[in-house]
Each structure stands twice: as C-alpha cells, then as structure tokens.
Amino acid sequence: MLAVWSDRLFMGAIVVYVLAIVLHAMEIAAVRTAARSALVGAGAPAATDAAPAARGERFGRMAVSVTALGALLHVVSLVTRGLAAERWPLGNMYEFSSAICAAAVVTWLVVLRRHAGVRTVGPFVLLPVVALMFIGLRVLYAEAAPVQPALQSYWLVVHVTTISISSGLLLVAGVASVVFLLRRSGALPAVTDRLPSADAIDRLAYRITIVAFPLFTFAVITGAVWAEAAWGRFWGWDPKETVAFVSWVVYAAYLHARATAGWRTGRAAWINVLGLATVLFNLFFINMVVAGLHSYAGLQ
C-alpha cells in the first residue's frame, strides 16, 4: 500500500510541477503585457498600467507556492518508497533520478528564499525536472523491493545521497548557465527579456556550483572508499567512475575559468553546461547502455 501511495505522490508531484510551469508562464506573459503598456501610452491611467504587473506578481507567488507543494509531495513519495521497501530509497535508477529532481527543486526553493528576483527562471528549472521525472516513471521505474547485496551497505546512504544532492544542485546551476547564454545572446526575446539580468543569472549559476562542487568531490571520494570495501580496489576505471571523474574535472575547470580573465562569462558558462551534460550522460547512457560494475541499478 505504501508503494502505491509513493507512486501516486510521485505522479501528483509531476502534475503540480506542470501547473507551476503554467503559472510561471502566465507571470512572464503578464510582465510582458505590463512592459508593453508602459511603452504604448503615457496618458493611460496608472491603475491600468499597474494591473498586468500586479497580476504577474500574483501568478509568480502562486507558482512558487505550487512548486513548494510539489516538492512536499515529491519528498514524501521518496519517504514512503523507503518505508515500503524497508530500506534507504536510493537503490535503483528510478529512485536515484527522483532524488536528483527533488534535490533540484528544493535547491531552487532555497534560492528563491534568498534571491526572489530570479523567480522568472523557474520554468526553465522545472521543465528538465518534469522531463526527468517523466522518463523515470516511463523508462526507469522499478518495483519497491530489497536491493542487491552489493548495495546493502551504509555507504549507500552516504555516497548515493551525496551524489544525488550534488547532482540536483548541479542541475539547477547548469540550467542557470543555459538561461544565461540565452539571455546574453538575445534569443527568444519574448521570454528572455522578462528574465533577470544576464549577470544575475550567471552569478546564480556560479554560487550554486560553489556549493555543489565540494559535495560532488565528497561523493566521488566516498564512492572510491565504497569500491574498495566492495571490490577490493579504490579505483578501477569502471565507466561510471571514469565519467564521474570527467565531470569533476569539467566542474573544476569551470570554477577555474570563473576566476580567469576573459573566461568569466560566456566561456565559463559553456563549460558549466558541458559539466551538466556529463552528469546526465553518466546518469542515463552509462547506466542504461554501457556494461560495468555499476550495472545493477534496477534496469533489467
């Protein structure tokens, strides 16, 4: 019964996130209308000019509230999944991808508590989250069950939880860099012109990556320690280990680029986007296509 409720809560979270995206879209549309009204006529009544802006603010606040509701449903779905399986709920690809998405949404809500001005970036964050959750439900889904012996270790809690949280943070940072590049290039002006300044978005990506990188480093280290306990060696160039190391190098390069003249903005952002691509490549292609010691993620 708990497993059924977990699945229902997961699907409910997807629906709520989609609703939040719609509300964010209505916010952006209202802001665009307000901007257009300001350009059209100085003789229009002030109340008329302010109405679209007020609607946009209302839609934006509703979007954040709905996102918070979705995050609550999402986290509870993970908790009930763990209770149903009587283990830590990160034993297969479905649960792992769900945890990454939950970490991304919670990260975004924390960002909004500190920097409410970036709220209109919300739909760009939620779109990949919904896409990943839909893939998890349709492609990666696995029944709640005990994990294989290789995963029956306290390192599952330490390593996989840390990699999930850091990957969720890096997802938000990578999306922010994509939005920064769009904003800077002037692409999709009907949408990007209603976003925060390019510099504000770039700073957001950098600050999140600064937090995520030490967590990701710790996750790689604990993975090596777990590998030594399980397989008798700290590092064996298994495909998943190798790509994780590549991701680490890319993010280290991004942080270095942000401190290097001539690389701080556009070039650094592209490196951050590359880092996100390697994380997603490791999550899907390596787990689903390439055979290795990590090929026990519930995809039979």
Tally of structural domains, the chain? 1
Residue 294 lies in a domain: no
**What does the pLDDT read at residue 34?**
60
Judged against a pLDDT cut of 80, whether residue 172 lies above it is answered with yes
Residue 296 lies in a domain: no
Residue 265 lies in a domain: yes
Judged against a pLDDT cut of 50, whether residue 299 lies above it is answered with no
Residue 295 lies in a domain: no
Q: Select the more confidently predicted residue: 240 or 277.
A: 277
- Write out pLDDT tens, residues 63-113: 999 999 999 999 999 999 999 988 999 888 899 999 999 999 999 999 999
- Write out pLDDT tens, residues 228-255: 887 777 877 788 888 999 999 999 999 9
**What does the pLDDT read at residue 49?**
55
- Give me the mean pLDDT over the 149-175 stretch: 89
Predicted model pTM: 0.90
- What would the DSSP string read from start to end of the chain? -HHHHHHHHHHHHHHHHHHHHHHHHHHHHHHHHHHHHHHH-TTS-HHHHHHHHHHHHHHHHHHHHHHHHHHHHHHHHHHHHHHHHTS-S-SSHHHHHHHHHHHHHHHHHHHHHH-GGGGGGHHHHHHHHHHHHHHIIIII---S-PPPGGG-SHHIIIIIHHHHHHHHHHHHHHHHHHHHHHHHHT-SHHHHTTSPPHHHHHHHHHHHHHHHHHHHHHHHHHHHHHHHHHHS-S----HHHHHHHHHHHHHHHHHHHHTSTTTTTHHHHHHHHHHHHHHHHIIIIIHHTS-STT--SS--
- Domain containing 230 equals 2-288
Residue 77 lies in a domain: yes
**What does the pLDDT read at residue 292?**
52
Residue 300 lies in a domain: no
Q: How confident is the model at residue 150 (pLDDT cuts 50, 70, 90)?
A: low
Residue 216 lies in a domain: yes
Least confident residue range of 16-30, 135-149, 202-216, 270-284: 135-149
Q: How confident is the model at residue 295 (pLDDT cuts 50, 70, 90)?
A: low
Q: Select the more confidently predicted residue: 24 or 43.
A: 24
Residue 299 lies in a domain: no
